[in-house]
Amino acid sequence: MRLWDETFPTAIMSFDLNTSVGDVAWAPYSSTVFAAVTDEGKVNVYDLHANKHEQLCEQKIVKKAKCTHVQFSARAPILLVGDSAGGVTSLKLSPNLRKITPIPVPVQKKVCCQAW
């Protein structure tokens, strides 16, 4: 799985899941959190702010079907996963996977002067 910036000719990041990826979705609450589902019936959740190289969570969802669709809820900490057998699995995200990514605040240099 590769992450692209449309202004660059090559991928900026890649992740090896050792299987085909069925779908990928970005979290609506964070620009660094996304989930990917695989043909092996697994969902993988990534947070690029926490770890740029490995998933934070990998969960086997179905045994005899392929995961084909993933979607974050816009209103609740829920991840929905659809599979090739027509099933839909609802997963409640751990509080650690629901953290809103803080917006970096520019650091202002403080200059202190003392006259003696």
Does residue 85 sit within a domain? yes
Q: How many domains does the chain have?
A: 1
Does residue 60 sit within a domain? yes
Q: Around Cβ 21, how many Cβ atoms within 10 Å?
A: 16
Does residue 48 sit within a domain? yes
The reported pLDDT for the residue numbered 99 is 53
Does residue 49 sit within a domain? yes
Does residue 31 sit within a domain? yes
Kindly give the confidence (pLDDT) of every residue in the chain, 116 residues in length, as a single tens digit, with 9 standing for 90 and above. Answer: 998 889 999 998 999 989 999 999 999 988 899 999 999 999 999 999 888 989 988 999 999 999 999 999 998 889 999 999 999 999 998 776 555 555 555 555 444 444 44
Q: What is the pLDDT of residues 36-51, one digit of tens each?
A: 999 999 999 999 988 8
Contact indicator for 15, 46 with CB cutoff of 8 Å: yes
29/38 Cα distance (integer angstroms) = 23
Give the structural domain span for 71. 2-97
The reported pLDDT for the residue numbered 114 is 42
